[in-house]
Amino acid sequence: HRVRKLGSSVSLETAFRWNLDRDAMADLKIKTYYTFAKFPNPMIVEIFAREKGIDLFANEKQVDAPGLENRNAEHLARNPAGQLPYLELEDGTVIAETISICEWLEEVKPEPAFIGSTPEKRAVARMWQRRMEEHFVYPTFYSVRFWTASDDCTGPLKNFFAQRNKILIPGAWKEMQAWALSRLEWLEEVKKGSPSDYIAGDEMTV
């Protein structure tokens, strides 16, 4: 038995634990799941898929993102935004963007629901996902990216995003971080006294 972590091929033992259904997966018509295991975005897609019992690893292709393979001509022809992960379906459809992939997985395998089981539950989950994305996720992302281009960054990530983002604003990284933190403080305030530990509703959602 192989022990595995997110992003490499799956053992039968792990597949059992995650309730992966390889037969059902054939219906999804996924040709290739392009990813890089060490990035944070694929982790969202992979946890989302596994909790649904969807086996993305059967069609997984690891891409050398640190070596910029995801930004070579072959990948850009499929996914011009150059990011990972993305799906290529058997009919040639390419689905990129983490949350769009999750939405598609939810549509082709609705149960268990991690966006929501009714239009209203989905609306509330999407509302909260967006509230946290605009004011927490993006400012956090770009704070880190801008920081790598600043004099404050001296470690291995120095200039990591120089070839990945056309515009980096090193002078703004601390304020972007403050923006992200202010959203967490807002969230704590809004959720004060809430009976639920979840940001959206009282079940696990995207």
- 3-state SS assignment for residue 3: coil
* 161 binds its own copies per the rule CB under 8 A: no
Least separation in angstroms between residue 119's CB and its own copies is 4
According to DSSP, the β-strands at 30-35 and 86-89 are antiparallel
Q: Which stretch binds its own copies (CB under 8 A): 17-25, 35-43, 59-67, 130-138?
A: 130-138
Give every CB contact of residue 159 below 8 A, 6+ residues apart in sequence: 148, 149, 153
Question: Which of positions 107-126 make contact with its own copies (CB under 8 A)?
Answer: 107-108, 119-120, 122-124, 126
Q: Which stretch binds its own copies (CB under 8 A): 6-14, 57-65, 93-101, 155-163?
A: 93-101
Least separation in angstroms between residue 38's CB and its own copies is 21
Calpha distance 189→133 (Å, rounded): 18
Q: Of the candidates 62, 59, 57, which has an alpha carbon nearest to the alpha carbon of residue 75?
A: 62
Q: Of the candidates 62, 45, 49, which has an alpha carbon nearest to the alpha carbon of residue 15?
A: 49
Interface positions with its own copies (CB under 8 A): 80-81, 89, 91, 93-97, 99-101, 103-104, 107-108, 119-120, 122-124, 126-127, 130-131, 134, 138-139, 166-167, 169, 171-172, 175-176, 178-179, 182, 186, 190
